[in-house]
Amino acid sequence: MRSDSELSGTGELPVPKPAKKNYIRPLDIKHGRIDMSHGAGGKAAAQLIDELFLAAFDNAFLRQGDDGAVLALPGFDPAQGRIVMATDGHVVSPLFFPGGDVGCLSVHGTVNDVAMCGAKPLYLSASFIIEEGFALIDLQRIVQSMAAAAREAGVPIVTGDTKVVEQGKGDGVFISTTGVGVVAPGVHISGRNARAGDVVLLSGSIGDHGVAVLSKRESLAFGTTIESDTASLHTLVAAMLVAAPGAVRVLRDPTRGGLATTLNEVARQSGVGMLLQEEAIPVKPEVDAACELLGLDPLYVANEGKLIAVISPESAEAVLAAMRAHPLGADAARIGEVTVDPHHFVQMATSFGGRRVVDWLTGEQLPRIC
């Protein structure tokens, strides 16, 4: 996951250079410093990736910009599928929040990154960076939550590492997880595959995770408890792929930067536009109310158990039905369609009958949300 702060892609050639991004000005590497917006999954993060990381690591795998990399392995029969590798750092604050914690989140996040490549996740690794003075009882709670999430997903943690840093040089615990999986033959999913006329599906309500974390961080109470949607989505993906083989073109989990930023990334990668229907986008009333109070737009709030899918139009209903038949897709909805747009804008038909451009996240809306 991690939208555009991801550096990854597939090794399948030919790999075009991505279009120029037209940032207002290039990164001032000589005098500039990292700020929180560089981790927020929006425009600043995308620019940092492009101008600093991709410039150095430049290779065909990274240039594609998907949630994971599709790899060739000697000894692996391409007729049986392709290997996928994805990684994610987890620095959520607070470590425990309604509906989850950094432990289960670190499993779900990477399982989902692998699944968004259309792959069946098989194995996870975990790297822990722990702050001196952190209570063992909290560490145990996090590790047990991680273990439970891994067992539930059927994806074991097969290797790991622990490091300790001095008090004041970390923040409790950071967990980086990496996943490996296999994509079945005939499945070709990438942010580059959306075509005009395709249908955009969303697996459920947006904003739950971000609001749950923020409410805990700010000690807010909204009458009801809003829980994170954190979940492993690979079985939902498998059901979608069975429902309409070959019809699923793009899968993406709208984490940092939210639905708006994720759709903008896909529009840019595929060189298309999108037109969303505001009324069709599910937002829970309590999340909507909390966002109103906090001055947030749910379109930009992170999710950890939702996916967007771009589907060829003739199969959209079949895929939607498969999603709704799955517990994690019960509230799935058709939220828009892919359009021809040389500017790659994501637009939204509003509930009031107007139309507005839904831009990338700019600046930092919610730091350390995942």
Q: Do the bridges between strand 96-97 and strand 273-277 make them parallel or antiparallel, or are there none, so unpaired?
A: unpaired
CB of 291 to a copy of itself, least distance (A): 23
Per-position b or e across 290-326, b if 16+ CB within 10 A of its CB: bbeebebebbbbbbbbbbbbbbbeebbeebbebbeeb
Q: Which is nearer to a copy of itself, 252 or 284 (CB)?
A: 252
- The count of C-alpha atoms lying within 13 angstroms of the C-alpha of 236, restricted to the half-sphere facing its C-beta, is 32
Q: Which residue, 87 or 264, is less far from a copy of itself as judged by CB?
A: 87
160 vs 313, beta carbon nearer a copy of itself: 160
Q: How far is the CB of 65 from a copy of itself (least distance, A)?
A: 10
State the CB neighbour count (10 A cutoff) for residue 225.
Answer: 12
Q: For a copy of itself, give the closer residue by CB, 6 or 101.
A: 6
What would you measure as the largest C-alpha separation in the chain, in angstroms? 57
Residue 368 CB, shortest distance to a copy of itself, in Å, is 6
Q: How far is the CB of 136 from a copy of itself (least distance, A)?
A: 4
Residue 286 C-beta: closest distance to a copy of itself, Å: 28
Cβ proximity to a copy of itself: between 180 and 291 the closer is 180
Q: Do 315 and 247 meet the contact criterion of CB atoms below 8 Å apart?
A: yes
Minimum CB distance to a copy of itself, residue 25 (Å): 14
How remote is the C-alpha of 65 from its chain's centroid? 12
Rounded Cα gap, residues 292 and 298, in angstroms: 9
For residues 208 and 77, the answer to whether their CB atoms sit within 8 Å is: no
Helices (H), 183-315: 208-217, 234-243, 258-270, 285-294
Cα–Cα distances (Å) from 333 to 40, 307, 309, in that order, read 26, 11, 10
- What amino acid is encoded at 354 in this protein? G
Is residue 271 left, alpha or beta, with left meaning phi > 0 and alpha meaning psi from -120 to 50?
A: left
- Euclidean distance between CA atoms 85 and 325, whole angstroms: 29
Residue closer to a copy of itself by CB (options 156, 246) is 156
CB of 155 to a copy of itself, least distance (A): 11
Provide the token pair at 167.
Answer: 């008090």
Residue 5 or 270 with smaller CB distance to a copy of itself: 5
Closest distance of CB 98 from a copy of itself, Å: 22
Q: How far is the CB of 341 from a copy of itself (least distance, A)?
A: 29
User: Between residues 143 and 323, which has the closer beta carbon with respect to a copy of itself?
Assistant: 143
User: How many residues would you count in the chain?
Assistant: 370
CB of 49 or CB of 338, closer to a copy of itself: 49
